[in-house]
Structure 1
């Protein structure tokens, strides 16, 4: 298949998702309005077109961009918004590790982790939206390398690579009281065991963290 991740956003229906934290054994429901989410992780081709640089360890236009920090992802969202004459979602102050999200903006942004999990599940309730080898690149089938986007079966809402290939940055702080500015990562990556490639698995890292199995996909809010 020929993927066009730079242009395709899927409208995700409203709904409710229940998030859970293994450390605290706490679960909480989140109500979500409809929003739009990219069908694919951002590719290297799209990233270099917008950001002007190619930070990834492995090179390939249709590979997911990796080696990007949370700050890089947020800056990309703003740059793409300006490129398309949309209102940037983020007011960024990296020197002070501060960011504000303008929820009224129509520009691109990172999904919240509730939006990410709701979209990943696509109406399913199990650990995954399909058989793992059919939907995800993980340590057991990836030959320990990253793969081009869209190479596995999408979920019922037309979203590819929600599990496996690269972890994806989300907007949220993981647990500000315990971990400070650490942000949420979701989805599992090409080097992860099967256990990590599940809809509910949460990972955290500092917003400046960069590694070869972490990327992101973009979202947009719909007018209220």
Structure 2
């Protein structure tokens, strides 16, 4: 707490950067933030979520793959440059086709590929915003390519699990089940905290 490591501030972001998620957060910095928050609140209730908890929250308790419409309504992902349009990816069986993209205005200024203000897209069924896209999010788990969504955080390892895909990620990463690992200091990475109750 006390400094904002975000790359996307000032002239590197369109509009008010105070409404954007903090990016460029290392796993160690995320844990220092949690420790400081616990100290300020006089508790030990705050922490990073496990991968299992993060995915459960992303799905809002529901099962299965996300429909493309859900991803389009809720995911803040790149649509050019680093990202790709949804139309090039196969849809899950029975999923509705995404609507065609709006025609580009040749006179419109080119939008920077950056994070977007929090809450730009619709929340999920539990009211959680930006679970897909905007920034990848740290979890408490160490990364193991063979273990997906372990209910208890795994320890050890140099990489930690990242969830949600980021604004510059390929659209195929903007699903709740994406299981990625990253070094300790990704530039397109943020985090969210959970609070133990009861």
> Normalised by the size of structure 2, how large is the TM-score?
0.70
Give the drift of 1:221: 1.3
Q: Which runs of 5+ in 1 are unaligned?
A: 1-50, 88-105
Q: Which of the numbers 24, 38, 43 marks the counterpart of 1:86? A: 43
Q: Which of the numbers 163, 166, 179 marks the counterpart of 2:135? A: 166
Give the drift of 1:153: 0.5
SS across alignment from 1:152: coil
In 1, are the aligned partners of 2:56 and 2:62 still within 8 Å (CA)?
Answer: no
Counterpart in 1 of 2:192? 217
Give distance in 1, aligned partners of 2:76 and 2:145.
31
Counterpart in 2 of 1:66? 23
SS across alignment from 2:52: helix
1:131/1:176 CA distance change after superposition, 3 Å: closer
Give the drift of 1:132: 1.8
**4+ runs deviating over 6 angstroms:** none
Counterpart in 2 of 1:140? 79
1:205/1:219 CA distance change after superposition, 3 Å: same
Which protein is richer in strand relative to its size?
1
Asked if residue 154 in structure 1 is aligned to residue 123 in structure 2, the reply is: yes
Q: How do 1:190-209 residues align onto structure 2 when only pairs under 5 Å count?
A: 190-207=167-184, 209=185
SS across alignment from 1:199: coil
Give the drift of 1:176: 9.3
Q: How do 1:20-39 residues align onto structure 2 when only pairs under 5 Å count?
A: none
> Normalised by the size of structure 1, how large is the TM-score?
0.63
Give distance in 2, aligned partners of 1:176 and 1:201.
11
Q: Which of the numbers 45, 55, 59 marks the counterpart of 1:121? A: 59
Q: How many residues align?
A: 151
Deviation sequence 1:85-134 (CA, Å, 0-9, x none)? 223xxxxxxxxxxxxxxxxxx2x110000000011011333332652221
